[in-house]
């Protein structure tokens, strides 16, 4: 999926919801604040409050109730406290975890500004650049390099003609760096010892650049290839990441990043996240 903005076509970010905690934990927090478990519309919350006050609790029943609380998707009290009385700490007990594919490093800078209540784990360029470097190592021309990058390991957010321009600039940067290195230094920086032996053997057999590339991909990877080549990475580089929000932070994120004044790439990401957010959570965020 792609979209076009200001004459450039970009990949659309993909969001996958991995987990949400439901509303039950937030209601337990609210009932704790007001000592009002018996007033809950959810039987599970009432039972939880009752079991807390029994000296010898049935552990099996207690564990079942705790699990049931995680599945609660409706709570008028939680809705009122968040949207009427603005008791924001209640929303912090609701968690959402997303896996995101295809967002730019430029967006990471925007996400970092939401660091309170947000946890990020991002794909490392240092440890995931091997395929790109293999493509450069085994090819003799830009045409060959361009083919391998587009076919097997495209790292960029843009598509079409803009992608060819990015790959061309990437190729020129690597050619420049190669001229500054000693003989076999490039290979030593890119390849593990095992893959270096594989490369030498396959190269001497002249089996073709694509087959050598695929063999290196299947071989043992060198862990930190990006240390030597991270300078080639731009804001247009595509990364995958795992992100966890508490609902208070997610509501703040949506308010700012769904605004027309937000950077268009993070607005696309904001929409992608909202698209996979469960309806019962959306109902707390978007009041009709």
Residues 147 and 208 in one domain: yes
pLDDT at 81: 94
Mean pLDDT of 6-19: 97
Mean pLDDT of 198-205: 93
**Number of compact structural domains in the chain:** 2
- Identify the band that residue 55 occupies on the pLDDT scale cut at 50, 70 and 90: confident
Residue 261 lies inside a defined structural domain of this protein: yes
End-to-end distance of the chain based on CA atoms, in angstroms? 30
Mean pLDDT of the chain: 94
Among 191, 217, 232, give the residue marking a domain's end.
Answer: 232
Residues 279 and 265 in one domain: yes
Residues 88 and 181 in one domain: no
Residues 140 and 218 in one domain: yes
Q: Does residue 120 surpass a pLDDT of 90?
A: yes
Considering the entire predicted model, what is its pTM? 0.92
In order, the DSSP letters of the chain are -EEEETTEEEEPPEEEEEEE--SHHHHHHHHHHHT-GGG-S-HHHHHHHHHHT-SS--HHHHHHHHHHHTT----HHHHHHHHTS--HHHHTT-EEEEEEEEEEHHHHHHHHTT-TTEEEEE--TTTS-HHHHHHHHH-SSHHHHHHHHHHH---BSB-HHHHHHHHHHHHHHHHHHHHTSPTTHHHHHH--HHHHHHHHHHHHHT--HHHHHHHHHHSPPPTTTHHHHGGG--TTBEEEEEEEEEHHHHHHHHHHHTSTTS-HHHHHHHHHHHHTS-HHHHHHHS--
Sheet holding 118-122, edge to edge: 14-20, 95-104, 238-246, 118-122
pLDDT at 216: 97
Residue 10 lies inside a defined structural domain of this protein: no
Residues 148 and 218 in one domain: yes
Residue 22 lies inside a defined structural domain of this protein: yes
Residues 140 and 189 in one domain: yes
Q: Exposed, middle or buried, 43 (CB in 10 Å: 0-12/13-18/19+)?
A: exposed
Residues 209 and 215: their CA atoms lie apart, in Å, by 10
Residue 9 lies inside a defined structural domain of this protein: no
Range of the domain at 160: 130-232
Residue 109 lies inside a defined structural domain of this protein: no
- Residues 41, 120: contact at Cβ < 8 Å? no
Residues 245 and 210 in one domain: no
Percent of the chain whose pLDDT exceeds 90: 87
- Residues 242, 101: contact at Cβ < 8 Å? no
Q: Does residue 235 surpass a pLDDT of 80?
A: yes
Mean pLDDT of 219-224: 92
Q: What residues contact residue 107 under an 8 Å CB cut-off, 6+ apart? A: 13, 263, 265, 266, 269
Residues 174 and 216 in one domain: yes
Residue 11 lies inside a defined structural domain of this protein: no
Residue 247 lies inside a defined structural domain of this protein: yes
Q: Does residue 286 surpass a pLDDT of 70?
A: yes
Q: What residues contact residue 57 under an 8 Å CB cut-off, 6+ apart? A: 51
Give tens-digit pLDDT for 59-71: 889 899 999 999 9
Among 192, 211, 232, give the residue marking a domain's end.
Answer: 232
pLDDT at 135: 98
Instruction: Of 203, 221, 204, give the one whose Cα is nearest residue 139.
Output: 203
Residues 242 and 275 in one domain: yes
Residues 134 and 214 in one domain: yes
Placement of tokens 């794909």 in the chain: 123
pLDDT at 187: 95
Residue 112 lies inside a defined structural domain of this protein: no
pLDDT at 288: 57
- Identify the band that residue 30 occupies on the pLDDT scale cut at 50, 70 and 90: very high
Question: Between vectors from CA 69 to CA 244 and to CA 50, what angle results, nearest 5°?
Answer: 140
Residues 141 and 218 in one domain: yes
pLDDT at 141: 97
- Identify the band that residue 250 occupies on the pLDDT scale cut at 50, 70 and 90: very high
Residues 93 and 155 in one domain: no
Mean pLDDT of 134-152: 98
pLDDT at 257: 95
Mean pLDDT of 84-106: 95
């Amino acid at each position: 999926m792609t979209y076009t903005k200001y004459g450039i076509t970009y990949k659309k970010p993909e969001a996958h919801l991995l987990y949400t905690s439901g509303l039950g934990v937030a209601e337990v927090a609210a009932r704790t604040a007001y000592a009002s478990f018996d007033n809950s519309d959810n039987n599970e919350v009432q039972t939880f409050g009752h079991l807390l006050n029994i000296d010898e609790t049935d552990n099996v029943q207690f564990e079942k109730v705790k699990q049931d609380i995680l599945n609660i998707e409706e709570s008028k009290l939680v809705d009122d406290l968040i949207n009427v009385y603005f008791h924001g700490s209640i929303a912090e007990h609701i968690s959402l975890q997303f896996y995101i594919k295809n967002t730019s490093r430029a967006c990471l800078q925007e996400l970092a500004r939401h660091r309170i209540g947000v946890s990020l784990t991002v794909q490392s360029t240092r440890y995931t650049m091997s395929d790109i470097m293999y493509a450069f190592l085994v090819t003799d021309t830009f045409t060959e390099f361009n083919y391998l990058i587009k076919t097997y390991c495209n790292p960029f957010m843009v598509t079409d003609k803009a992608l060819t321009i990015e790959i061309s600039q990437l190729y020129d940067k690597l050619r420049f760096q190669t001229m500054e290195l000693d003989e076999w230094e490039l290979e030593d920086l890119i390849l593990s010892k095992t893959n270096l032996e594989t490369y030498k053997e396959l190269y001497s057999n002249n089996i073709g650049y694509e087959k050598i590339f695929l063999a290196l991909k299947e071989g043992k990877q060198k862990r930190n290839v990006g240390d030597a080549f991270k300078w080639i990475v731009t804001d247009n580089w595509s990364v995958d990441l795992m992100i966890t929000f508490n609902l208070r932070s997610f509501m703040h994120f949506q308010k700012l990043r769904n605004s027309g004044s937000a950077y268009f790439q993070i607005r696309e990401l904001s929409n992608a996240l909202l698209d996979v957010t469960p309806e019962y959570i959306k109902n707390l965020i978007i009041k009709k």
